[in-house]
A and B are shown apart, each in its own frame.
Chain A
Amino acid sequence: MKIAITSTGNTSDSEIDPRFGRAKFFMVYDDEKDSYEAIDNVQNVQAAHGAGPQATQSVADAGCGAIITGHVGPNAFNALKMAKIEVFTVESGTVREAVDAYKAGKLKAVDSADVEGGWV
């Protein structure tokens, strides 16, 4: 399965970005190949509205079955649910640390939005 981690940079050592819709990058981790691929989210960072749903579109198009991020708003959450993408949250750390925690089963799936839309 592929997992998208919201990231402030385009490497697996970058700090995670707590925002989903307006994350700088999505680092897509493929657990079969144990490899990372960066998706630049610049288009959504600059979007006036609707960054969350469009970010969902990006990770769905990339074939991800789960995301790891800091917070998720209601619009994004609905889209993620519809796309059957699981949502995991972390407080901080690097992309690689988040993936390790996920693999170790330390991350809990969240089942509702935890912030208001457009919170940052």
Chain B
Amino acid sequence: MKNDSLAISIASGKGGTGKTTLAVNLAAVAGEVTLLDCDVEEPNDHLFLDVEWGESRESCVPFPRVDTNLCTGCGECRRVCRFNAVVVLGKQPLIYPELCHGCGACFIACPEKAITEVDRAVGIVERGTFREIELVHGRLNIGEVKGPPLIEAVKDAAAHNGRAAIIDAPPGAGCPAVEAVRNTDYCVLVTEPTPFGIHDLEVAVEMARQLGVKHGVVINRSDIGDDRAVRFCEERGITLLGQIPFDREAAEAYSRGELLVDALPKYRETFGELWQSIIKEARGA
């Protein structure tokens, strides 16, 4: 693998620990890089970058359409659906779009070939640039529940472009977070030293472990709680990549939508060093 095409995911169990702050500021010091905002329910990386927007593309998932003239109501589609999305009532299949995962099992299973795939839009993928950053993000349609296919589309949009990628994952450790972290070369887990932070860090570490993604921890607002995050990393043998103390000026700059590395020059060094340690860890040196 080429070093410059590393994919680094930024994740956390708990929301609000500083994933976005880390992602945008690392991107700003990383040189030529692709920043993928995979928090498709509420993408916000662009708020910190003066983005010149380019292409925008609708993202779709396959959805089954039943030809009622061909359907015999045999119920095979219902039997193979793992997601309880199909019921067959009065010899008529009824498919729930919000339950369908677009897996395609029913298309294959239908003995009458009565089911065809149609595209159902779930959101849009937008691209733009800011300085040396290429930003790609997804925006999930309102009311839509299936983020993972859109996250996959965001990640695909930047695959094989030869640049390093920073992937800002959604919070949690559910399907959307898993989709964002999956197949990345390294995962940076951002936490805060509070009971909530540690509890959810533990869940996030387990996610990264099960995905087989190498990972390390950054403790944000490292002086607001106690030393349990440090102890947690020591006990588990997890690399502690860095600690960022609470800083009122940084919080103010954030609230104005500014990059910390622009607003407060000392953070150029903080994030520059952090990026170097992440790259080093990701390369396995």
Contacts and interface: CB of A to CB of B under 8 A. Distances in A.
B84 A83 contact: no
Contacts of B94: 53, 78-79, 82
A10 interface: no
What size tier do the contact residues of chain A reach? 10 to 19
Interface string B67-93: 000000000001000011101111010
A100 B83 CA distance: 37
Interface residues of B, number: 12
Contact of B89 (A48, A49, A60, A75): A60
B73 to A, nearest CB: 12
Nearest to B101: A49
B89 A83 contact: yes
A20 to B, nearest CB: 14
A50 interface: yes
A56 B89 contact: yes
Contacts of A47: 84
A56 B90 CA distance: 12
A48 B88 CA distance: 19
A82 B84 contact: no
A9 to B, nearest CB: 25
Contact of B99 (A49, A78, A82, A84): A49
A88 B83 CA distance: 28
Interface of A: 47-51, 53-54, 56-57, 60, 75, 78-79, 82-84
Interface of B: 78, 83-85, 87-90, 92, 94, 96, 99
